[in-house]
A and B are shown apart, each in its own frame.
Chain A
Amino acid sequence: MSKKRAELSGEQNGSQQINSLGVSAEQLARGLGWFSIGLGLAEVLAPSAINKISGGRGRNTGFIRLFGLREIASGIAIFAQGKRPAAAVWSRVAGDALDLAALGLAFASPDTNKGRVAFATANVMTVAALDVICARQLSSSNDESVSARAAAGGTQVRKSIIINRTPEELYQFWHDFENLPRFMTDLESVQVTDERRSHWVAKAPAGTSVEWDAEITADEPNRLISWRSLEGADVDNSGTVRFERATGGRGTIVTVEIEYNPPGGSLGAVVAKLFGKEPGQQAQEALRCFKQLMETGEVIVSEGTVWDNGLLTQRPAQPLSSEELPKTLAAGAKQV
């Protein structure tokens, strides 16, 4: 199974991504961790020497000691966070920004050695570049729920749910991709164009939409369906859904893996998160709606919780007015 996933994402090994520097992100992180601790100790123990090397002339030692403590904290965090210390390395990036800001102030100050400040700035920028490379790699491969990953900058989610129906029933329903918008609230429509191909339209922020053609890449009756977008897609994406019989006649465990490169790359994903379109939660909500649909025949609506532009939104738990009603229902999960 894992081999198949690796083939799908076109990668040999998902977790050990090697960068242009020839070391893995994990190795780089450990190096940066030791660097943090070393520099931090130097700043705490010998602040005046550090001040001098960086071109400072004034009495900045208290300030530098604080920066040293920050470095040590980042270093410890890198080792404490385990194998993939993405957050800790990002904290180093934030620290680099602080260092650069301080050096910027030093440049502006008349009381500094400009040559040494420039040298220190160049050094910090080099380390900052390493930090960013390392943090990006760790973040992009950080979702451990996904065993395989798409190219750097992509987003992957993997979610599952148990449904009180047989794999056969669920497979059959899902296999007709035109059914997908009935429980994936951010899809506007899916049109099946032939045996393997379909055309998808999804809602995007600010009332726009994105479209793509997709093809089925794997199809094992009652077990698994995989699909991926074809060249020229607005959003490059692929997905797999698996249907496994649960123990003791308790229905089916449905697992979905979706990988996509949102418009704007990883920045787009960050922005999407800020606006609440967190892909993991969206996939989970889609599965929940799928379960409701398969177990009860429809997606359940409460007046205090409505779908707005593909998002679950809270409003007062009061009946909807006749103006709100059609809009909310149209924006929400499609009724059967």
Chain B
Amino acid sequence: MRANCWYGKQDVRVEQVPEPKILNRKDAIVKISSTAICGSDLHLYNHFIPTMEKGDILGHEFMGEIVEVGPDVKNRRVGDRVVVSFPISCGNCFFCKQEMYSLCENTNPNAWMAEKMFGHSPCGIFGYSHLTGGYPGGQAEYARVPFADVDTLKVPDGLPDEQVLFLSDIFPTGYMGAEMCDIKPGDTIAVWGCGPVGQFAMASAYLLGAERVIGIDRIPERLRMAREGAKAETINYEEQNVHDTLMEMTGGRGPDACIDAVGLEAHGGHGLIYAYDRVKQALGAETDRPIALREAIMACRNGGTVSVIGVYGGFIDKFPMGSFMNRSLTMRTGQCHVQRYWGKLLERIEAGEIDPSFVITHRMSLDEAPHGFDIFCNKEDECIKIVLKP
């Protein structure tokens, strides 16, 4: 079959690889009908996440039709149309039982690697380095999905792929980002990053009852999408001072909660601060550039919540702990517990409350994946979200 494989920094290739087989009794094989490139794939593409091997198949947002099931799969059968969750979760451990699926204790065979880096290991993830298990990803014609009963969601035939595909990751991720803000009526929520996850965080903040939502970015088409798609107010940080503008908009108090939907490859901030972080990152003195995170902490109102859904991989520098402690802030974060949210989000899609396809700007064939990574990484051609068809 064909699959999009990683070969090094900014080097991905569509290659012929063997087809997957059932290896565990709860596996299913999915014939992929749609698959997407995620912003977090760019961290792999730019080689910020260690433990990649040449030839690794990328992709963790995919859906399709089940074509084979292992003997212990109970509630899925051949022919089911399913979305696959990016976290691989067993459904039986301490964390899965509490619906904290991305913390599953059993699905990362390389847990020892993650323990060295993080102290403890998160779950296995499709196509996302060997630190999270070395599982082949979904930018391919077929994928093996372990624990198919837990990690696939049946979707009705009436809904097209483009409306349900993002239940695999970015819609629940954005939703969890908003849910962690514990939104109360009248709240103002600021979202750093108007990429696809930021768009869903903004849309979800409204779904959860926020009164004002403010999106922060620098790219005109993303800001436009935030205004038109997610119905948010926007700040272009290249034109306005983010902190001052937010204080003006909130009478000096600050947003009730701030969502970091940017993560480790942030741009912006003061020119000198950006240069400082670029240099430290290049020298290996910090692995992640926490520009958005610092700004979110400083802007958040006293006693407010900072919700982090942008991906971080290692260590940051100049964390404003004084601001964080003295002002009683709360930070909540995590890889999304997709399986906790996707059922109720599917209901919202079916009820017509949201159509997640508004983030899609590009559709191409799997064979064009390298071109897709290129324009997505360089934000060319107004690229925000790419869906690939195998």
Contacts and interface: CB of A to CB of B under 8 A. Distances in A.
Interface of A: 162, 164, 250-251, 281, 284-285, 288, 291-292, 295-298, 300-305, 312, 314-322, 325, 329, 335-336
Contact of B133 (A250, A285, A302): A302
B112 A251 contact: no
A112 B19 CA distance: 73
B98 to A, nearest CB: 11
Given A318-B17, A318-B18, A300 B146 contact: yes
A304 B109 CA distance: 10
B20 A319 contact: yes
A316 B135 contact: no
Interface string B74-110: 0000000000000000111110010000000111011
A329 B27 CA distance: 15
Interface string B287-331: 000000000000000000000000000000000000000000000
A316 B52 CA distance: 8
Contacts of A335: 24-25
B154 interface: no
A303 B92 contact: no
A319 B144 contact: yes
Contacts of B112: 281, 284-285, 312
12 contacts: A281-B112, A288-B111, A292-B106, A295-B93, A300-B24, A300-B107, A302-B124, A304-B56, A317-B135, A318-B57, A319-B144, A325-B21
Given A303-B134, A321-B18, A336-B25, A295 B106 contact: yes
Contacts of B379: none
B21 A304 contact: no
Nearest to B56: A317
A311 to B, nearest CB: 12
Contacts of A303: 20, 23, 134-136, 144
A300 B109 contact: yes
A250 B134 contact: no
Contacts of B107: 300
A305 to B, nearest CB: 4
A301 B26 CA distance: 11
Contact of A317 (B21, B94, B106, B137): B137
A291 B106 contact: yes
B31 interface: no
Contacts of B133: 302, 304-305
Interface string B1-28: 0010100000000000111110111100
A315 B136 contact: no
Nearest to B133: A302
Given A250-B94, A292-B106, A296-B92, A305 B18 contact: no
Most buried by A among B24, B25, B53: B24
Contact of B19 (A162, A250, A301, A319): A319
Which of B91, B109, B124, B127 has the most C-beta atoms of chain A within 10 angstroms of its own C-beta? B109
Interface string B376-388: 0000000000000
B94 A164 contact: yes
Nearest to B136: A317
Contact of B92 (A281, A295, A314, A317): A295
A305 B110 CA distance: 7
A314 B134 contact: yes
B55 A318 contact: yes
Contacts of B127: 317
A250 B54 CA distance: 40
Contacts of B135: 302-304, 317
B55 A317 contact: yes
A164 B97 contact: yes
B49 to A, nearest CB: 13
B72 interface: yes
Nearest to B23: A301
**Which 6 A-B pairs give the minimum distances between C-beta atoms?**
A304-B134, A316-B55, A319-B20, A305-B134, A317-B56, A305-B109
B222 interface: no
Interface in B227-259: none
A292 B26 CA distance: 13
Nearest to B1: A319
Contact of A329 (B23, B25, B93, B109): B23
Nearest to A320: B18
B130 interface: yes
Contacts of B94: 162, 164, 250-251
A316 B105 CA distance: 23
B18 A297 contact: no
A207 to B, nearest CB: 23
Nearest to A162: B94
Interface string B146-173: 1100000000000000000000000000
Nearest to A281: B112
Nearest to B54: A316
Given A292-B106, A295-B105, A316-B56, 4 more contacts: A295-B106, A297-B26, A320-B21, A322-B18
A241 B106 CA distance: 21
Contacts of A288: 111
A312 B106 contact: no
A302 B106 CA distance: 12
A298 B130 contact: no
Nearest to A307: B109
B92 A316 contact: no
